[in-house]
A and B are shown apart, each in its own frame.
Chain A
Amino acid sequence: MQFLAINGSPKPVNSNTGVMLQTIVNEMEHVCKTKSIKIKSDNTLDVMDALLQADHVILGLPLYGNAMPAQVLEFLSVLHDEVKRSSILKDTLDKKSIGFLVQYGFKEAVHARPLEAYLKSYVELLGAKYSGTIIKGGCDGLYTQKDKRQGKQILDELKNLMGTYKEKYLFDLVQLKDFSAPETQDKKKSVFAMKLFVKVANQFYWKKKLTTNGVSEADSFARPYARPYVK
């Protein structure tokens, strides 16, 4: 039995997706052989090869523009075409399970639901077994937070989530939902709290990063492409 973690993050270093996948791999090492690989612009065949050799796969990715990064879509597209061409590949895929990890900065799970639906239908189209999608918002800067309280909490909860998966190679839907909460900010009270949170995040997280880079708040709103333009 082999478990494969594919990192779909286009970020060359300090990958938040990578930190979460490492936690997943560490858990899987208790029960089976594991392998990790990162999607790059020139290694599509290597990733596909690794995927075909594994029994259970989790593909991790950051949410880009409400969906998958372009390089992940490219990979999914090549894989699909190869499987369509070869009945041997199709038979191999029948026995595999494929799941996903989607992480991003916004807090609410709702942002990733359309992508989740797509990924599920994609795996079914391939003919593999869909093991579920871990959705986790509020992960911006997780890489630098991984040894601090907030980061640790996310990774500990992720570790717990892997408990069921380790047994059946299938995520528990209720656990997934708990882990990715809140779904939206729809209660009056939480909206008030979130507005406060956003204010704090802007002033202490983003503004601090701007200052570190020598960019003033006013300059951060630059509009380099705006032209005097009359309709």
Chain B
Amino acid sequence: MKTLILNCNPDVDYVTFDKHISQLKNNLSNKQVEVELIQVRDLELSDCIGCYVCWLKTPGLCVYKDGMHDVLSAFVNVDKVILASPVKINFVSPLCKRVRDRMLPLVHPYLKIEGDRMSHLARYDKLPEQIIVLDQTENIEHIQSVYTPKQEGGNEIYNIEDLEGITNAIFSD
């Protein structure tokens, strides 16, 4: 069982959040989960500029050679991903959104119809299930509707303090 934790706390001074992340990591390691933790704020990621180089010129690879390389490399090879972010104005942190925007290399430009709407073909056979972890569970309906929409199963969003809930989510199928 491999898990990637993407800590999208942008603020070095928000130490409580990082403490909870460390605790979560230790907790999972003690349960024999192989955990990789990436501090996204240390990667100094560029913004995705929608250039489509990762689709049309170097398929699957971003034109920016920055820390996103390590994120994607880990992402496609784990069973679960914990996307952890503080809530900021009823949404995820801009840092968390940046890492999400840079995931365009994970899909192929070709379109398909899925249910009642268009989507892109997947580049990889299987991507890990994402578990969204926030620092509050109130006023998160906008995050819910973008990150765990009903048509994709509407998975539960966890509070960073709910170690047990997150751990159970890691072990669930």
Residues of A with Cβ closer than 8 Å to B?
A: 9-12, 41, 62, 64-71, 73-74, 76-77, 80, 106-108, 110-111, 114-115, 117-118, 121-122, 125, 184-186, 191, 194-195, 198, 201-202, 206, 209-210, 212-213, 215, 219-227, 229, 231
Contacts and interface: CB of A to CB of B under 8 A. Distances in A.
- Chain B, interface size category, equals 35 or more
Contact residues of B: prevailing secondary structure: mixed
B145 A117 contact: yes
Interface of B: 1, 47-52, 55-57, 59-61, 72-73, 75-77, 79, 88-91, 94-95, 97-98, 100-101, 103, 108-113, 116-119, 123-124, 142, 145-146, 149
Given A77-B88, A186-B116, A9 B110 contact: no
6 A-B pairs with the lowest CB-CB distances in the bound complex, closest first? A70-B98, A114-B145, A184-B116, A74-B94, A222-B59, A70-B97
Contact of B118 (A198, A210, A222): A198
Nearest to B99: A70
A224 B103 contact: no
Contact of B47 (A10, A77, A220, A227): A10
Nearest to B106: A225
B73 A225 contact: yes
A219 B118 contact: no
Nearest to A202: B110
A63 B47 CA distance: 14
Given A10-B47, A10-B48, A220-B108, A67 B97 contact: yes
Q: Which residue among A11, A80, A221 has the maximum number of chain B CB atoms within 10 Å of its CB?
A: A221
Contacts of B113: 185, 191, 194-195, 198
